[in-house]
Amino acid sequence: MLKTILTRDLGKKIERFALNFLKNHKLQLIESNYHSRYGEIDLIMLHQDCLVFIEVRYRKDLRFGSGAETVDYNKQQKIIKTAQVFLQNMKKYQQLNCRFDVVSVTLDNNNLQANWLKDAFQVSAW
């Protein structure tokens, strides 16, 4: 149980770090931790005229790959379906272009570092 609490606290800290990083790059927060029956989107932000759905991933080190590499096809599909639910419920954003980004946060010499992958994946055509 203590490990669960510590993991949750670390997750919140990582998401706050990513949020501040993105705000420094002129993105505006629309919603955080948006849930649907398909899953969760960590951050939904506005970047100029584009609605950005953002997955935040953390890796203590890169020995086993970056956090972005852990966003596999199944996770992408959950994010896409959750984004569709968001757009169905929030009609004022339906006319905007959408993008799916991943922010991979790592620990480097006791400092958090962010790697922002814009347009990390796309909705494939039918």
The number of folded domains in the chain is 1
**Structural domain harbouring 8:** 2-121
Examine residue 98 and state whether it is found in any structural domain, yes or no: yes
Examine residue 51 and state whether it is found in any structural domain, yes or no: yes
Examine residue 126 and state whether it is found in any structural domain, yes or no: no
What is the DSSP-derived secondary structure letter of residue 96? S
Examine residue 63 and state whether it is found in any structural domain, yes or no: yes
Band of residue 2 on the pLDDT scale cut at 50, 70, 90: very low
CATH of residue 33's domain is: 3.40.1350.10
Examine residue 99 and state whether it is found in any structural domain, yes or no: yes
Q: Tell me: the pLDDT tens digits for 87-126? A: 999 999 999 999 999 999 988 788 899 999 999 999 876 5
Examine residue 49 and state whether it is found in any structural domain, yes or no: yes
DSSP assignment of 38-87 equals: TEEEEEEEEETTEEEEEEEEEES-STT--GGGG--HHHHHHHHHHHHHHH
Examine residue 93 and state whether it is found in any structural domain, yes or no: yes
Q: Is 38 exposed, middle or buried (0-12, 13-18, 19+ CB in 10 A)?
A: middle
Q: pTM, whole model, 2 decimals?
A: 0.89
Examine residue 92 and state whether it is found in any structural domain, yes or no: yes
Q: Tell me: the pLDDT tens digits for 14-59? A: 999 999 999 999 999 999 999 999 999 999 999 999 999 999 998 7
Helix, strand, or coil here: 23?
helix
Q: Tell me: the pLDDT tens digits for 33-43? A: 999 999 999 99
